[in-house]
Structures are given as C-alpha cells and as structure tokens.
Chains A and B, each alone.
Chain A
Amino acid sequence: MVRNGFKRQVEARMDHEAAQLEKQHVHDVYESTARYLSDLQGKAWPRVRQFLQDQEPGSLIADIGCGTGKYLKVNSQVYTLGCDYCGPLVEIARSRGCEVMVCDNLNLPFRDQGFDAIISIGVIHHFSTKQRRIRAIKEMARVLVPGGQLMIYVWAMEQKNRHFEKQDVLVPWNRALCSRLLSESSQPGRKKQCGHLERSHPYHPPCSMCSCSVCFKERRDSKRSHSVDYEPVRARTCCANISKEAGEENGFYHTLGKSFRSWFCSRSLDESSLRKQIERVRPLKNTEGWATSTISIQPSRHSSLDRDPQEPFSTREPSSDEDVFVESSQKHLEWLRAPATVKHLRGDHQGETGRNGGGDCLGSTHTPEECAAAGALGEGKPSAPRTLRRISTVDSTDSTPDDTIPVEGQQPDVLDSRAFMRYYHVFREGELCGLLRENVSELHILSSGNDHGNWCIIAEKKETCD
C-alpha cells in the first residue's frame, strides 16, 4: 500500500536522523574525550556491583555500554564481556586487561540466549527515540538465556535539587568552569581529584567520572542525583574540551559553544511528533546533522550573557554553584537566537504546535530572527519578547520558551571554552517500566527503583514456552 510505503520511509528517515543525533551528541563526544576518562574512573555503583556479585559462579555476563570497563572485574568468578560503541573507551578497558569489543547495542553481534546476565548502566538514555530505546532493550533480551537477568540504569528526570526542563536534553560541560570550581573548593578526604587543573584540556563528561569538586559539592549538598555514567555524581557541566573545534562543519555547535549558557526549548523526540516534523520539514539549507528536533540544553552556570538592551529581563548572576539544571524557582530566560546556519533541534509537539518558542523553528528554512519573531506560538507573527519561565515541567510539551538572545550579539564565550554536549533522554518515574511492559514482553520485571537519581530496573527473560 502506498501508505505503508510512505510510513516506512518516514520511519527510516526518523531512524537515520536519530542515528545522526546520537553520533554527534553521544558517540563523537565519548570518542573525543575518552582519553581523559581513564583518570576519572569513579567507583562502581554499589547496587550494580551487588547485582554482578550475586551472579552464579561461571556465569557469562555482558556489560553493554561498558565504557572503560568499570564493572568488568567486579566478580572474578564470572566471565564478563564488555561492549561499547566507542573504540577509544574500549581500548582503555582493554589496557586494563578486560575482555572487550566494539559493537552497537542496536545490533548486538551475539547468538541468541548466550548470556546469563546483562547490565546496561547509563546507556539506554542515550538513545534519542523511543523505538531505538525499545530496540536496544529487545536486543539485550534476545541474547539473554531464559531466566537470565538484565539490569538497566537510566538517568531520572526527577532529581532532588534540580529539574530537567525537558526529557530530551543536551548536557554540556565546561572546562574552565570546572577548573575554577576545583580551585575554589577542596574536598578533604576525596581520593580522586579530577586533575582538571593540571590538564591543558581536561575533559569531564557531565557527572561521570568527574571527581570534580563541582560534583562533590553537589554531593555534599544533596543526595546526588544521577550520574549514570561511571560515577554517582550529578551530571553537570564540568570540564569542556574545547579542542573540538566545530570540526563541526556545523555552525550550530560553534555557536553553541559561544553562547553556552543558553538553552533551547526542548521537545521529546518521540516518534509521532518527529514524524510530523519530518513530514513537514522543507529541505534544509545546511543539511548536515540533525536538524529536526528541539532539545533542551541544560545551562551551566555563569549564565550571564551580554544582552540586548531591549531584553526585559536580566541574566542571572552566576552563583557559586555550577548549575546545570533549571532551578524551579527561576524566572529568567535565556534564549539563543541562532544564526541562520544553526540547526535547531526540533522535537515533539504532541499536537501543541504553537507552543514552543524561539527554539522551535518549524521550518528549517526559517532564519533565527523569524523563529524568534514567531515566538512560542509558531504562528508566524512577531511577538514581543516574553519572559521565559524556567519552570520544571512534567510534560515535555509545556515549555514556552519565550525569548531569544541574538547570538550575533554575543561575546565570545565568557568561559572561553567550548562544550561538548551529550544527549540524554531522561526518564520519568515509571517510564522505563512502562517501556518494558508495553514493548518487551519477553522480559518480566523483578524490581525497580531509584538509585541516586537513576531509575533502575532488574528484569528477567521469560522462559520460552516451546
């Protein structure tokens, strides 16, 4: 049927776009920064360690998304194979004597039912569409023996002391920031220093391995939220590796680096909305990269930006706390009005086509000015700058980014560093369970909960009936 063929094309296009997004905001970032990670290995999450230690001796275990191999030697009585998409990370794990390989979670190169247990720690949240997240989980279920267990950790949207505005976020980190914070505070008793100061290009992924004082301070102040990656540290903007010149053929990233404290209105990259977007999108001026969704970029601190005099609001003064996430009480708004070459990531409207502001440039051919003018309503009429309220939203479609800051007017990044932005789809409470229940019937959920800002699940592969 014509309709089915069209539907397939749209799906294929969406999947391709999703892959592009992940390439730029997951894979390339890890790859560029891997070399700095070995020094920043944090401790393993205790509950993950426990899960591994609970496995029967002689078990075959896969760590899908093993990174530098933090979990691969937790239990010497089992055979643990580490897999990661990122070659450099895998090399690091290898250098530590681990058995590892490079592969793709979406197409696991294993025969069916080979593993007794699998862990997926801080991985699924890097997939940018629901379909891909499901596919990743189904792949892991496929290679599990019946009765085998799967543990999944993903970053939670609900964080104790901060809020993600949206579920789909780009989290940057900033080297200069981190260095400054490190020098400002010290953590007695902390064994690991992230060594930012010594490095010329220190890099720290948000939260993870960063034994960064930023993170520590956070920790002190709150039950750390999150970090799923390697360390129980909140994802925050830590050190940025500015050397990644927007080899980014992309003006987008270049600009982003400069006006780093701004963020876009975000939307979920859900299939239905994405589909609508793709069906509507006109050819891009600059076809590189992902240009069809709007994703929230969590600001780092030092939000002050040079602003146009017309801006009705003032920027927040940098606080002493690096603040990646929106404070629920804040009312300021920083909007990035990108130049024409900027890609606007667009996302899911869920039917609320008008609602999203500046960041949501519906037509890729809109200039940023047009986008800004169109305002949140996407109705094409200019609107006066409005105050963007940074409120946490439960519904990812709620946000109404109101204002934009002209990038052209920006000073070079005050922090004089670029940021690597990593993409995350942060999960709402119940979302991961729901995802398994509705889409992965071969798995039965044994337990679920929250561990330091991560939603965790342990599921079991059902016995086959034939």
Chain B
Amino acid sequence: MKLLTHNLLSSHVRGVGPRGFPLRLEATEVRVIPVEFNPDFVARMIPKVEWAALLEAADHLHLAEVPKGPTQGYEQDETFLRKMHHVLLEVEVVEGTLQCPESGRVFPITRGIPNMLLNEEETET
C-alpha cells in the first residue's frame, strides 16, 4: 500500500463519518519500490493530497525529508517533486495496520493489500 492510497482511505465503520479520516498507520514491514519519476504526474497530484494525513502517516513510518507542504512554484521545483514522488509512490507498506481514529477498529495490511471489509454488524445502517 502506497501513501497516496492511504491518503484516500477513511474508516466506514457505522456512525463514524468524516471522523474516520485519516486512518492511523502502523507498519511492521515497509519496502521501497522504485517508480519512474514523472514530474508532471507528481505535480498534478499535489493539490489532491491531504497534507496533514500524509505527514502523520510519513511520521509513523519514520520517513525523513518529507516536505511539510507545497512550496511556492512547486510545479517546477524538481527537488520538491522528487521528494514527494518518493513519499507518495515509492514507499510501500507490506505488512501493517490501519486504525480508525474514532472507533479504534483495526484494518490489516497484508502483502501490501489493505483489507477494509467490515462485518455485517459493523456496517448496519
């Protein structure tokens, strides 16, 4: 699971609503998988990122050199873009957990795949 994916995930435990974001990330196994750098692609992603969630997740993974936010003129700032490229796309959580901040419910990440299924009781409306 990449951090860009994590940035989109939210708990859907019944009753939690927007307080289910972001999920608290813990990892027992992390891998770095090189991905071809596409500056245009990364630049376009930047406005879509929820920064606080990204920083929190990066922090839990003990990542260094994570930009705190978009810099002025970031679209042309290759250093910035490369760092963001690395954080968003190259860091993979292989084994870990995602925890709902509101309900405490834990979702596993196994072999890089988050399992977000809930039981029937947990989702009943």
Contact = CB atoms under 8 A, between A and B. Distances in A.
Interface of A: 12, 16, 19, 56-60, 77, 79, 81, 85, 87, 90-91, 94, 99-104, 106-112, 114-115
Interface of B: 1-2, 4-5, 8-12, 18, 21, 38, 40-45, 48, 50, 107, 111-118, 120, 123-124
Instruction: State the majority secondary structure of interface residues on A.
Output: mixed
A81 B111 contact: no
Given A81-B5, A115-B8, A109 B116 contact: yes
A85 B8 contact: no
13 contacts: A56-B44, A60-B8, A79-B41, A81-B5, A87-B113, A91-B113, A100-B113, A101-B5, A101-B114, A102-B116, A103-B115, A104-B123, A115-B8
Contacts of A109: 9-12, 107, 116
B115 A102 contact: yes
A189 B44 CA distance: 42
A103 B117 contact: yes
B1 A112 contact: no
Contacts of A100: 113
A107 B12 contact: yes
B44 A57 contact: yes
Nearest to B89: A79
Contacts of B114: 101-103
Contacts of B45: 58, 60, 79
Closest 10 CB pairs of A and B: A58-B44, A109-B116, A103-B116, A111-B10, A102-B115, A101-B114, A114-B8, A107-B12, A111-B21, A109-B12
B113 A107 contact: no
Among A16, A100, A115, the one with the most B-chain Cβ atoms within 10 Å of its Cβ is: A100
Given A60-B8, A99-B2, A109-B11, A94 B111 contact: yes
A104 B118 contact: yes
A102 B113 contact: yes
A462 B95 CA distance: 38
A392 to B, nearest CB: 36
B38 A112 contact: no
A101 B120 contact: no
B113 A101 contact: yes
A104 B8 contact: no
A99 B123 contact: no
Contacts of B124: 12
Contacts of A91: 111, 113
